Amino acid sequence: MNIYLAAAAFAVLGSAAFADPVEGIWQTKTDDNGNFGHVEIKPCGPAFCGTLVKAFDGSGAEIASDNIGRQIVWDMVPYADGLYDDGRIYSPDRDKEYNGDMTLAGNNLSVRGCVMGICRDGGTWKRVK
């Protein structure tokens, strides 16, 4: 019986130790207003979501923003080769929501949003932590 308990505990603890590589804090590209943010991406059900946790002006000084705490990315489903798709992305500088996808390559996360076949490059986000 102890072997089964140990195996179950290892399975639970082991799975928690292996975070998806997209999890973490990401610095967005500079937006139309010259600002950028830090978005924390973590699991939300079977997908991944990202919430704005800090905002900065063009000089890098932290600023107040009504969007802090707002979900910027949601329902991104992981696929092979670093692709996260079938989700949504909110762009605070344009106050618009897009169908989105993200592609992870090391510490770079390429983000894109599309509406009616027209896509906006969200740039490459850099891993902060």
* Predicted pLDDT of residue 122: 87
CA dihedral 126, 27, 29, 49 (to 10 degrees): 100
* Predicted pLDDT of residue 9: 37
- Coil, strand or helix at 9: helix
CA–CA separation, 5 and 126 (whole Å): 41
Residue 80, number of CB atoms within 10 A of its CB = 5
Q: Which residue do the tokens 């939300």 mark?
A: 44
Q: What's the whole-number average pLDDT of the chain?
A: 88
**Any idea which of 5-14, 24-33, 34-43 has the lowest mean pLDDT?**
5-14
* Predicted pLDDT of residue 16: 45
Nearest one of 44, 33, 50 to 109, comparing CA atoms: 50
* Predicted pLDDT of residue 69: 98
> Own/partner pairs for 114-122, CB < 8 Å, 24+ apart?
120/91, 122/28, 122/29, 122/89, 122/91
* Predicted pLDDT of residue 97: 94
Confidence of residue 120 (pLDDT cuts 50, 70, 90): confident
Contact 65, 37 (CB under 8 A): yes
CA–CA separation, 100 and 85 (whole Å): 6
pLDDT digits (tens, 9 = 90+) for 51-66: 999 999 999 999 999 9
* Predicted pLDDT of residue 8: 37
* Predicted pLDDT of residue 17: 53
Q: Which domains does the chain have, with CATH numbers?
A: 20-127 (2.40.128.520)
